[in-house]
Structures are given as C-alpha cells and as structure tokens.
Structure 1
Amino acid sequence: MPHGPLTLNPWGKQDFLSSDFDLAWGRGPRSIQVEAVVASQLILDDLEDLLVRFCAPDASGRIPTGACTHGVHWHAPVDMCATYNAKAEEIGRDLALSWVHLHDKDSVSRIAGMSLQALRARVEAAPRGALVTMKGKSEHSRSLSRETVLKALAAPPSALLDALGASAAPDDAWRAAAPRATAIVDLTRQIAETGEGPPTWPVCTSTHGHIHFVKKHPPFHVRRLASGGVVLATHPYCSLWPLWANALSALGLMS
C-alpha cells in the first residue's frame, strides 16, 4: 500500500545543503556574520530550486503543495523550513494544515491533498477558543488559535501574501552583513565560471557562532512563481513560524 506523498531524501550533504564552502574573500577580514549570510544565500537558492523542481516539474499544477524539512517527517507546514503551494491565493493552506495536524493529530502526509474548503471546515469544527501550542519566542507567537486561523482564511489572499512579504524583510544585523556576502558570492561564482581571480579558502559554517547567528536572525524568502504558485523558505536550521506570526500580527489577526 502507498504510505503517503512523494518523498525525496537527498543524503548527499556534500553537494546539497552543505555547510562547507570554498569562498573568495577578496579584501577585508573574515566575519562569522558574513559567512553565515553567504551560506544562507547559497543554501536557500538550492532549497528553493529543489522544491520547485520536485513539486512543479511542469505547468500542470497537479501537485497542490509540498514542503522541505531538516528533519525526517512532514510536520506542520509553518514549522518547516520551506513550503510550496501551486496556487498563491491558497497560501492559507499552510496555516490550515498546521492547525488540523497540531489540533486533531492528523498526519500531514495524509491530509495535505485536502481542498482548502475541507481544511477550513475541519478548523471550524474545533471548539471556540481552541489553541495549539507553537514554538515562539514572543508571547503572541507561543500559540495559534482557531479564530486566528479562520480570520486568516477569510482575509484576502493578497493581503496575507503582502504581510508575509513585508515580514520577510531582513533585520539590521542581516542587512549589515548582506552587501559583503553578496560580493563574495558573486566573486566566487565568477572564479568558478572563468577560472580566474583571487584564491578561494575553505570555510565551515556549521560552528556554534554561525548557527547562533542564523537562528537569531533567520532569513526568510517569499517567492512568487511565474506559474502562479508561491514558495516560503528559510534556513534549514530555522522555522517559518516567526514569519507567519509576524505577518498575522501585522494584520491584527492574532487572538
């Protein structure tokens, strides 16, 4: 019997989601913050590319949703590091799937293909005031209520997508490191393509300092696809929940 959805497990960590890179530093001292941003840029590019290729190999849109995790199982989408939805206007599916999974204990792999209307009905069937516990750092992000999910599903999808996009803006620490990180990535790629340029140096970005920076300043991407779909992504060490919590709060939907 089929166990669930299509699954891909790329175990070749030396080629995918690697934490070791050969980088061209150019001028200036090394920086853990800059190295962490470089690694995140490269990893997010690979992560988003793989997810889109796997979920949308053509324009059929036959795969409604998918996700990527640093762990083993398909958990609540808002707790994953990346999600794909074939229809951007159904981005609320991530929230509804998460609620039903956490509240009703249903396996995400078994309910991911349900229509958004069916998922909404499952949320509505829960008792008024029902809450699920979330792994949030601030008080407003430590739980998710039935009412918040229903209000989000009733909101215009464009407003939800705009709020997610605004909430994905990097913080000051990330912005400070980003220009040099981008320059290093561009120079490294140029050397790889032409074989000309300064020497590259091996850099390991799995140290405590690198991981601490990424977790304290998680990067978020909200990528609208030409097919009409949307991808939400963050570093595999992080979760999409802070992005969702900030977007819902900005819309005044957290209750």
Structure 2
Amino acid sequence: MSILNKFSLTNKIALVTGASYGIGFEIAKSLYSAGAKIVFNDVISENLQKGLDAYKAAGIDAHGYLFDITDDMAVEKAIKQIEKDHGIIDILVNNAGIIQRKPMLETTAEDYRKIIDIDLTGQFIMAKAVLPSMIKKGSGKIINICSMMSELGRETVVGYASAKGGLKMLTKNICSEFGHANIQCNGIGPGYIATPQTAPLREKQADGSRHPFDQFIIAKTPAGRWGTTDDLAGAAVFLASEASNFVNGHILYVDGGILAYIGKQP
C-alpha cells in the first residue's frame, strides 16, 4: 500500500466545531480535500447559514447543525442526530472557542468562567459525547485546537491561556484513558495566523513601516512571517488519518518555530 493511502480520509465522517468561518472552516476544507464528509456546528443560526453558503461556494457538501457545545444535553442530542444522519463520527476537531483581551484585574469571575466554559469545558463535553461510539467502532481521532498559550503566558489573556493550558492536559488525559481503544487524541497549536481578523495588525503604517505588533511577531518567529491557514492543513490531515495511529497525547505546534526561539539579542 502506498504511504499516501495512509493520509486518505475517504469514507470518514469529520465533525469540526465552530467551523462556519476562520481556522475551523479552513481545517474542514483540508479534511474534505483528503476525502472526509464534513459536519460542522455553530451556536448562532445566522453564522450557521453563512457557513453553509461558504461551503457551497467552495464546492463542499457540508452539513451544519445548530447547538451549543457547553450544553451537555444539547450536545448529546446533536451527536445522536448526526450519527443517525451520517453514521459514527470518525474525527472530532474541537475548534470552537473565544478569546477576550482584558487585563487580569479588569477580568471578572463571570468573564473567566465564560471563557473556561467555552474553551475547555465545551471540548470535554464534545469528546465525552463522541467517545462511546468511537470505542464501540474500535477507532477514532480527536483533535483539540490548542494554542501557543497552552505553553506561554501573555498579558490580557488570562482566561484564554488558562483554558488552553487545560486543553493541553485534557488532550493528554484522553490519550491516557482511551489509547487502549485505538483512539488517538492530539492537539494542534497554531502560531500567529494571517486571517481577516488579524489583518489590521499587519497593515502598513502611514510612514510605510510595519504595525508594531507585526514587527514583534516577525522578530519572534524564525520563519520570518505569519502563518497561513494552509500551514495548518497538513497537520490536520495527518492527525486525522491513519498516518498518525501511533501518535497520541501530542500537541503539534504549527508556529514557524516561535516556541523554540528566545529571540534576537537587542
């Protein structure tokens, strides 16, 4: 068998949460290109429809479901419906999440709990919902979208960093508990990715110079550039495919080397 066949996702069903747009949408597209059937969710009906329209425009027959990943009863109901409509989920990509940029002393307990609930508890609820059928089938892939903040702290993102650090350990724990069932749980940790949301941080200044944050990222990244959504595609397909069957509990950082680099001496 060709090694390339190990990367095929033909006849696999992939559920990507929060994939109406952004990184989740691009990951879903990469899984589709490898042969997977795409299922996604959103918590906002308007965004769900926009996602369906975007997939259709890209030539992808995706299937959208409206539910909240933090509502365990709603998730359980949705997973049962997805399994009824399409079959057992082979690949779960826990992508849905939020970020709030606010100094810690201005962050309320309510703010903090909301971020933890969406960025960590929701991932637990989703994994718990798909695991029984994966165990019964004898195989499964869970990919958690972690972050460099799974390893590093940074001012103004206390809730996000706490959640992403916890998600790294949830990944390792799922590996520890379900590896014997031929279920692999790994994470992808994106670096700074060029998206429409980060475009203002990359705009040239009036004098032609780089935006200060753009300068900071370029100086800290050995690759000397921002990542693209295409840079995440290979990692996603690898971790979703048979090629990664003996890779478990691992966080694959797609960051251009930023976590390996202390930075240039001033």
> What TM-score do you get using the length of structure 1 for normalisation?
0.24
Q: Which has the higher helix share?
A: 2
> What TM-score do you get using the length of structure 2 for normalisation?
0.23
